[in-house]
Structure 1
Amino acid sequence: MYRKNTFKEICSEVIIEPWEFGEPEPESTVDLSEFNVLYTMGLHDNLNILKKASKIKWIHSDSAGVEAMLNEDIQNSDVTITNVKGCTSVPIAEHTIAMLSSLARGVPTIIRNQINKNWMEIPVIYIEKSTVGIIGYVHIGFEIAKRCKALGMRVIGCRRNPDKKNKEYEPADLIMGMDQVDEVLSQSDFIVLALPFTKETSNFLNKERLNKMKKGSYLVNVGRGNTIVDGDLIECLSNGHIAGAALDVFEVEPLPKDHPFWQLENVIVSPHNAYNSSKHLDRVMELFLQNLKLFSDGKPLMNVVEKKLGY
């Protein structure tokens, strides 16, 4: 749908350098010294290319996460960074609901029993009237909350600014500050992590906080892999304090084949795929083209990242 000519209607020159996911960054085949816009994989790009593209003024990330590119030089520079915030909120929310339902209805056990042709009754829990705590209650968290309310759940949002509410419709029954996160953990039957990658969120869910979760509760992580201390979570999943977890993001990706998460029967592993949908490319390209037109016209861009905060 989005051919090179679509961009050339706005840009005087367009260069496309293919970069396969998981492969080393390719060497540029052209002179980049006059280019001022860069579209890249923000989650994986450390921006070494800027050594050859000194006139770049705006960098657009095709992921919401931009941690790889936020080195000290970039943070202190005048370069503007934008991301795809909002484009992935609905797919991630849909994925989260699928995981909550799967954990509640014992789907991991159902699948194993099917493979082994084992017919047996499976314990399940009631989603309606249960409490879900959404830690990182912003765009993604809001979309998750809307869907949880439709299932009859009590929703607690947890965010840095608890006084900020959606003016048109606020699905959360209660919004608490990050300084009250322990209270959220202790009240919730389900915890959803939708936190960004920052210094403050690194190792956020450690042994101390995991033990403050309600016994027998469930965890879903659709934020960043660095927010959980893997060893501490494995211990809580193994001793039954946490009944199960659905994990879409990991500190090391792809998840190593010898990682214990693969073997735990109460864990659902998905390959950082919550953001994905059949409309993903359309959404991100539409946003980028809108921003490209704004940039060309000298107007403020959408989805500008606060570089010091990291999102």
Structure 2
Amino acid sequence: MSDSKKTAPSLYIRVDIPVKYINEFKEICSEVVIEPWEFGETEPQPTVDLSKFDILYTLGLHDNLSILKKAPKIKWVHSDSAGVEAMLNEDIKKSDVIITNVKGCSSVPIAEHTIAMLSSLARGVPTMIRNQINKNWVEIPVKDLENSTVGIIGYGDIGFEIAKRCKGLGMTVIGCRRNPAQRKGKYEPADLIMGMDQVDEVLSRSDFVVLALPFTKDTSYFLNEERINKMKKGSHLINVGRGNTIVDEDLIESLKNGHIAGAALDVFEVEPLPEDHPFWKLENVMVSPHNAYNSAKHLDRVMELFLKNLKLFSDGKPLKNVVEKGLGY
């Protein structure tokens, strides 16, 4: 967006947002209309004329933006999720519509969740809980986090926050990213940052592998049998990125034969995870219901970002968290 005089844009919202935030939006916008689309429900039809709206606030995980055919004036679409895969069809990629997301708003809680999973896998917590239920008093094999190596595949905002906490536990941290020369600032917690072309080496060196990858054509089914076999025998896997980055059948086989000692999985290709999925029953797997992002402060972080962008849009200034459509994040 180029600089221009201040405007009062109109906003159409497809997610449920508390009234106190809506009132703040109304202080900036000329009109705000809310017609929530509940996750898992059939897409509702708008009851208002969309041709007058400038901004669409929706959920990038399930809105393919076909609604924009009725909203030709939309200049900016904001996703209430970090994932925007459903949005990025060829028409949207070719259009001038700006896409933003909530990247960064969940980095801290996801990092804290990751540390909880790392510690649980290292200390045998899944076995401990089963033994408690069965009143079984048996010594449990454990692994030290101190001096172990964690490889963070997808070393972005989330990976950075994970790395900071892993260093506090005395771990060696290897970050792996598309652009290994990129730095967040003066402080860099990772001991080594490698390129995605070196990912096999990262896998072979890591006692713990954390997947924090975005959804792109390059990350789809990234962790397959070939890459799993490159992982250190007895290593552990944590996935807090996207569910479709793992070939489930290949991981299940590796968990059963003991090549991978255990896994903590927060995201899945099909959600909710089907009741008959093997992940539920494997004793060396911890399943969480796409909950790593969750935090008592999550909504406040998301609203603070959107309000900041709403003011920038009103002032004709560039927005924050703009998605690079070609990359997918």
Deviation readout 1:6-30 (Å, 9 max, x if unpaired): 1111000000012222212211111
Give distance in 2, aligned partners of 1:25 and 1:99: 35
The alpha-carbon distance between structure 1 residues 129 and 82, as it changes in their structure 2 partners (threshold 3 A), is same
Q: TM-score, normalised by structure 2?
A: 0.93
Which residue of 165, 176, 180 corresponds with 1:162? Answer: 180
Partner in structure 1 of residue 86 of structure 2: 68
Partner in structure 2 of residue 206 of structure 1: 224
Which residue of 238, 248, 270 corresponds with 2:266? Answer: 248
Q: Would you say 1:223 and 2:241 are equivalent positions?
A: yes
Give distance in 1, aligned partners of 2:66 and 2:192: 44
Q: Would you say 1:271 and 2:289 are equivalent positions?
A: yes
Aligned letter for 1:226? N
What is the CA-CA distance between 1:167 and the residue it aligns to?
3.0
Aligned letter for 2:135? K
Partner in structure 1 of residue 49 of structure 2: 31
Give distance in 2, aligned partners of 1:221 and 1:261: 13
Partner SS for 1:246 = strand
State how 1:87-106 maps to structure 2 within 5 Å. 87-106=105-124
Q: Would you say 1:16 and 2:41 are equivalent positions?
A: no
Q: Would you say 1:125 and 2:140 are equivalent positions?
A: no
Q: TM-score, normalised by structure 1?
A: 0.98
CA contact (8 A) 2:60 2:79 kept: yes
Give distance in 2, aligned partners of 1:300 and 1:229: 39
Partner SS for 2:103 = coil
Cα RMSD (Å): 0.9
Partner SS for 1:42 = coil
CA contact (8 A) 2:145 2:169 kept: yes
Give distance in 1, aligned partners of 2:208 and 2:98: 37
Q: Percent identity of the aligned residues? A: 83
Aligned letter for 1:277? S
Which residue of 305, 310, 316 corresponds with 1:292? Answer: 310
Partner SS for 1:191 = strand
Which residue of 183, 190, 197 corresponds with 2:208? Answer: 190
Aligned letter for 2:98? T
How many aligned residue pairs are there?
311
Aligned letter for 1:104? A
Give distance in 1, aligned partners of 2:327 and 2:185: 25
Partner in structure 2 of residue 116 of structure 1: 134
Structure 2 gaps of 5+ residues are 1-17
Partner in structure 2 of residue 171 of structure 1: 189
What is the CA-CA distance between 1:166 and the residue it aligns to?
3.2
Q: Would you say 1:138 and 2:161 are equivalent positions?
A: no
What is the CA-CA distance between 1:49 and the residue it aligns to?
1.4
Deviation readout 1:90-148 (Å, 9 max, x if unpaired): 01000000000000011111111111121111111001000000000011000000000
Partner SS for 2:141 = coil
Structure 1 gaps of 5+ residues are none
Q: Would you say 1:5 and 2:37 are equivalent positions?
A: no
Give distance in 2, aligned partners of 1:211 and 1:88: 31
Partner SS for 1:289 = helix
Give distance in 2, aligned partners of 1:57 and 1:83: 15
Give distance in 1, aligned partners of 2:215 and 2:154: 11
Question: Which ranges of 4 or more aligned residues in structure 1 deviate by more than 4 Å?
Answer: none
Which residue of 260, 270, 278 corresponds with 2:278? Answer: 260
Partner in structure 2 of residue 235 of structure 1: 253
Give distance in 1, aligned partners of 2:63 and 2:291: 19
CA contact (8 A) 2:56 2:77 kept: yes
